[in-house]
Chains A and B, each alone.
Chain A
Amino acid sequence: MRKSSELEAVHIRTSRIRDEDILCCATLRNELDRLPYFLKYYRELGIGHFLIVDNGSDDGSTEYLAQQADVSLWSTGASYKAARFGMDWMNRLLSRYGHNHWTLTVDPDEFFVYPFCDSRDLRALTHWLDASSIRSFSAMLLDLYPRAAVGETRYVPGQDPVAATGWFDAGNYTIKRNELYGNLWIQGGVRARTLFTEDPYRAPALNKIPLVKWHRRNVYVSSTHSLLPRGLNRVYDEWGGEKASGVLLHTKFLDVFETKAREEIDRQQHYADGFEYRAYADRLRQRPSFWCDMSERYSGWQQLDSLGLMSRGNWA
């Protein structure tokens, strides 16, 4: 509770939330460039209201968000790390406003895609999930990167970051089961391939369960990688069948990423004392290309479904 008191209301419009609204939760810092497209994308997908925590932006993100009619905004200058990488803030908002709503918890550089997302919006998906008595929906993080070396292309605000990155690793993921929480632990992708060859164990976790029919007893344990109660982590079939799932297209590796990484290291706010960020920064100084001959060009959800990165399950 003490940590949540660090949240300061900036512009609250939660009274506008209707019972059937799907809520989007996000924490961010200095994302002004990305916000226009982010909000547009999720509005079109069917988000009814955004619950956003601004962790000390000074680039105008705060002012921009405060003007949006479907955004409720809190701010905090407190430590992202001490708030367990923002999860304490998210849990607090979810338990207060999320109960009985479908909630989507994402970062500003993550774009949720799922089977049929080009013809069926989030309301159709959650309606089907309700009808199927499914309470949580997984979407693994898929790192996208540009064809050129990171930092060579210029991102223009409002531009589609998925198109600006566009490539991904299709088939180098590893999965283990976490016996404590029952969730899967997925690693791999371009970051493991290029930045964690010496120590694959430390490669970032890619398993995520961002879409949840929230109940006030729910709580995210570690980022959106796992939740309690444990049953919510059972987003996978154990007998060979496939449950439906989606993907979070991760567009971190835009040109804006370089400055961002430097800043994050200075603040030492990320996992493992910024280990991941330090590894990036070392590599980024050499302006690497994540791209390789075997990189796959993103073309849509059907591609991810046929590659086996996500599944339509029995949704037809």
Chain B
Amino acid sequence: MSVGFVMLVHGDVARAGQVARHLAAQGAPVVIHLDKRMSEAEIAPLRRRLTGMERVVFSERHACEWGSWGLTRATQEAAALLLRRFAGVDRVFLTSGACMPLRPVAELEAFLKDHPDTDFIESASTADVPWAVGGLHDERFKFFFPVSWKKRRGLFDAAVRLQRRLGLRRTLPDGLVPHMGSQWWCLTRETLTRILTDPRRERFDRFFRWVWIPDESYFQSLARRHARKLQSRSLTLTKFDFQGKPHIFYDDHFELLRDSGFFFARKIWPGAEALYARFLSAKPPLARPERESPGRVARVFDRARARRTEGRPGLYMQSSFPHGFLNAQKTPGPYAVFSGFDDVFPEFQDWAARSAGQHAHGHLFAPNRAEFAGGGRVYDGALSDNARLRDYNPKAFLTNVLWNAQERPHSFLHGPEDKQDIADFFAQDARAHVFVITGAWAISLCATGQTAQELRTQAAWLQKTEARFLDRLHNRDTQAQIHIWTLAEFLARPMDRLQGVLEDIATPQLRRLTEVPRLADLSRLPQFLQDLKNMGMHPYLTGDFAEGMAEVVTDAERITAAGNG
């Protein structure tokens, strides 16, 4: 078993030369193709470096414009030269100057010996697999691609549009089933010979000359025609990012590459001194990894893709600033807003923390300061409770609170006496649960002990503010889950309501109501509400207590007794 290499070199000749030397030194022949677009001066160091190495040969140079036929033609000729010059070679491995051998040639040969007559070439049927990157898929084969995508993008796109409009469809040559896959393969001498000497080769070549990126489809399609045993996978590790360009490997990827299970990797950052030093040093040879973990490679790069395309929900920062109606995930996790609950249950905040398992803040948007859970002046992330700082950008304030302690489900209290600007934000946030008991402020007013006469103006203002808040919640663009009860509705069945709240926000083990918070003193409320009405200030948001206020109060007392007991 003897493997030979075809190496396509487009730039950074120093590294290419180093790798070619490394391979040849292990007894493997290397045919190098130098992109014709590189100047003689540019490639001189490479030639110098490789002079006297008998097993290194240069093939005829072609210009290798990205995505063009030149690259495939260069590969054909270099491969033919390799087969001709080195009769002992029975496997041909296609690499580039930016590829890095991860394991010794002997190990590769042992592996190939274990897989007799097998071609390793990633090759997926375009009819079945939507190879998404680049947007063009089966159109690569349907249309003509006579101009460079990199240099003449406008003309390229225009040509595609025109052919789409004309409904053009090139005829596929008989016996050709379009397949696509990684450019980097390892073929047997037999398969490669049959591809290169196929009686219909001229027809195939003519077809592929105008296909887009033939280097990802020419051998991939023709191997399907000639291979005896084909494993559709590449022995060269390549990972593509969300734009379809290859990820680059650096010094800190050493372990990832070593344990990847692949024989080569591409692309390598030319400045990755440590990688080149470690993988290309013959002694001591790298020990076989204890355990190959190709899955880790996928995880690392899939995570990068997700980071770039989806980001971390609820994060607003210098390089990610989602805004407008497109922003579906405004916050890192679910949170609850309670309006009126602390009027009905004076110790509601404690209850939310204890019974509902919430990271329970007080009134985050209270007029004078932010009431953080725990009562501190400075919250996680060094967020200040200063009202001016908060009100300068309430949205940033809230998203900071939620982001800084995102491992916990937050809740906070809200009411008509608080700063209202933030309502816009949480109303449009699908992660928010907003629970409102309307008119509950009347309880706290009543508890001040002042007369309805004295409180009339304040009551009217609170009611107006709350009405605007409700309008906001009823707006069509609301995404939050909204639960609204009038005070009368809530007090009619307080236990059921609290049970409902738990079912919406608490973790499964806390979903059964086991503890009832103490109810506020409601004994004077009916008279207080009547007094307000008598003065012409109808507290309509409290709901209709006309019948059975006395009943409510008795019921409330019963619950309080139960809660205390």
A residues lining the B interface (CB < 8 Å): 116, 119-121, 123-124, 127-128, 131-132, 138-140, 169-177, 184, 186, 188, 190, 192-193, 196-201, 207, 235-245, 292-296, 308-316
Contacts and interface: CB of A to CB of B under 8 A. Distances in A.
Given A207-B318, A310-B317, A237 B311 contact: yes
Contact of A237 (B301, B304, B321, B386): B321
Contacts of B396: 173-175, 188
B327 interface: yes
Given A172-B381, A200-B388, A242-B308, A123 B271 contact: yes
A241 B310 contact: yes
Interface of B: 241-243, 245, 247-248, 250-252, 269, 271-272, 300-301, 303-305, 307-313, 315-324, 326-329, 376, 378-384, 386, 388-389, 392-393, 396-397, 400, 403-404
Given A292-B378, A292-B382, A243 B320 contact: yes
Contact of A243 (B300, B308, B326, B386): B308
Contacts of A315: 304
Contacts of A199: 388
B382 A190 contact: yes
A131 B321 contact: no
A288 to B, nearest CB: 14
Contacts of B392: 174, 200-201
Given A237-B319, A310-B317, A119 B308 contact: no
7 contacts: A169-B381, A169-B382, A173-B317, A192-B389, A237-B319, A244-B319, A314-B308
A190 B324 CA distance: 29
B506 to A, nearest CB: 26
A296 B382 contact: yes
Q: 5 tightest CB-CB pairs across the interface, nearest first?
A: A171-B381, A314-B308, A316-B304, A245-B319, A174-B396
Given A174-B393, A315-B304, A293 B319 contact: no
A116 B319 contact: no
A313 B319 contact: yes
A78 B310 CA distance: 48
Given A131-B245, A242-B307, A197 B384 contact: yes
Contact of B381 (A138, A245, A294): A294
Contacts of B309: 241, 314
B529 to A, nearest CB: 41
Given A138-B318, A236-B321, A239-B326, A294 B382 contact: yes
B380 A243 contact: no
Nearest to A201: B392
A240 B400 contact: no
Given A171-B381, A184-B318, A241-B311, A116 B393 contact: no
B242 A314 contact: yes
Contacts of B318: 138-140, 175, 184, 186, 207, 235-236, 245, 309-310
Contacts of B393: 174-176, 200
A308 B317 contact: yes
A234 B283 CA distance: 48
Given A131-B245, A245-B319, A124 B269 contact: yes
A240 B389 contact: no
Contacts of A121: 271
A315 B400 CA distance: 25
A176 B269 CA distance: 37
A101 B380 CA distance: 41
B308 A241 contact: yes
A172 B382 contact: yes
Contact of B319 (A201, A243, A296, A316): A243
B149 to A, nearest CB: 13
B312 A242 contact: yes
Nearest to A172: B383
B322 A238 contact: yes
Contacts of B380: 170-171, 294
Listed residue (A131, A171, A198, A207) with the most chain B CB atoms within 10 angstroms of its CB: A171
Nearest to B312: A308
A128 B269 CA distance: 9
Contacts of B252: 116, 119-120
B333 to A, nearest CB: 14
B326 A238 contact: yes
Contacts of A120: 250-252, 269
Contacts of B269: 120, 124, 127-128
Contacts of B311: 237, 240-242, 311
A121 to B, nearest CB: 7
Nearest to A141: B318
B251 to A, nearest CB: 5
Contacts of A244: 319
B304 A312 contact: yes
B400 A172 contact: yes
Listed residue (A140, A171, A239, A316) with the most chain B CB atoms within 10 angstroms of its CB: A316
B120 to A, nearest CB: 25
B447 to A, nearest CB: 33
A173 B301 CA distance: 29
Contacts of B400: 171-173
Given A124-B271, A242-B311, A314-B304, A131 B320 contact: no
Contacts of B326: 238-240
Nearest to B250: A120
Nearest to B253: A316
A128 B248 contact: yes
Contacts of B312: 242, 308
A314 B307 contact: yes
Contacts of A140: 317-318
A315 B328 CA distance: 25
A201 B305 CA distance: 36
Given A119-B250, A184-B321, A240 B327 contact: yes
A294 B378 contact: yes
Contact of B320 (A172, A207, A242): A242
Nearest to B307: A242
B319 A193 contact: no
Nearest to B327: A240
Nearest to B270: A127
Contacts of A312: 304, 307
A177 B396 CA distance: 12
Contacts of A116: 250, 252
Nearest to B322: A240
B419 to A, nearest CB: 14
B404 A171 contact: yes
A292 B386 CA distance: 14
Given A172-B383, A294-B379, A198 B323 contact: no
B58 to A, nearest CB: 27
Nearest to A46: B271
Listed residue (B247, B321, B393, B404) with the most chain A CB atoms within 10 angstroms of its CB: B321
B373 to A, nearest CB: 13
A294 to B, nearest CB: 4
A116 B379 CA distance: 30
B327 A171 contact: no
Contact of A193 (B271, B315, B382): B382
B248 A175 contact: no
Given A293-B376, A312-B304, A239 B322 contact: yes
Contacts of B327: 240
A239 B241 CA distance: 18
A292 B385 CA distance: 13
A113 B4 CA distance: 44
Nearest to B308: A314
Contacts of A240: 310-311, 313, 320, 322, 326-329
B389 A124 contact: no
Nearest to B301: A316
